[in-house]
Structure 1
Amino acid sequence: MRFVIGFLFILLQVGSILYARFTPERFFCWAPYDTHVKFEVFVTIDERILTKQETFERYQYKIEGWEQRSIHNIFSLISQYERTYGKQDNAQVLTLYSINNHQEKEWRFEHD
């Protein structure tokens, strides 16, 4: 019985790692962080741009700086908030980011 439990535990771990390798967020990936992202988030509600402090309070996460994990973690955090608590605000969210000091890109939250 112990062997079966141990085998299932190892199998679950391997399955989680394999799953993480094929998702952009990579929450369960145990590989070293191989990307560094510089980013900044801008939020506009009713044509008013929120201050950095207001944006921080909105997401309860840093809104600019360096991130050692995938930028998709931040996209996921913003999307989850905007689809739930912030749904009625109809906010426009722009994130400017650069992965490993390459060309700057932008990501915008799209309302459903």
Structure 2
Amino acid sequence: MKVRVFIGILFLLLQVGSMTYARFIPERFFCWAPYDTHVKFEVFVTIDGNTLNPEDTEARYKYKMKGWEQRSIDNIFSLISQYERTYGKVDNAKVLMTYSINGHEEQEWRFEHE
């Protein structure tokens, strides 16, 4: 009986710890808080001077590359950066994302290989 109680308490403490940690990182993957941002965005990828069409861009990252995102925009920054630092490293792609958080002024995010 004591082992079950210990496991239950440990499980709950791990959940609380994960939620607390998630509140302080930009991606917030495992945060149980409500989604408090809405982002309108579009991604443009250029390889060797040629801009990929929207279908090729979505196929490259296996995620939508235009529309609304209900979570932190950092999730998409992370997805693109990870791909470009690994699988897409040899392509030397230039990525431009335009986005607006909660209807505010449009911003730009860029990824280029160093």
Regarding TM over 0.5, the answer is yes
Task: Report deviation, 1:111.
Answer: 2.5
Taking the aligned partners of 2:79 and 2:15, their CA distance within structure 1 comes to 24
Taking the aligned partners of 1:110 and 1:34, their CA distance within structure 2 comes to 29
SS at match of 1:109: strand
Taking the aligned partners of 1:18 and 1:111, their CA distance within structure 2 comes to 33
Q: 2:62 aligns with which of 60, 75, 82?
A: 60
Radius of gyration: which is bigger?
2
Q: 2:32 aligns with which of 27, 30, 33?
A: 30
Structure 1: state its 5+ residue gaps. none
Taking the aligned partners of 1:78 and 1:18, their CA distance within structure 2 comes to 26
Q: RMSD of aligned C-alpha atoms?
A: 0.8
Structure 2: state its 5+ residue gaps. none
Please list every run of at least 4 consecutive aligned residues from structure 1 whose deviation after the TM superposition is greater than 6 angstroms.
none
Task: Report deviation, 1:3.
Answer: 1.2
Taking the aligned partners of 1:100 and 1:70, their CA distance within structure 2 comes to 11
State the identity %.
Answer: 74
Task: Report deviation, 1:109.
Answer: 1.3
- Which residue of the partner structure matches residue 6 of structure 1? 8
How many residue pairs are counted as aligned between the two chains? 112
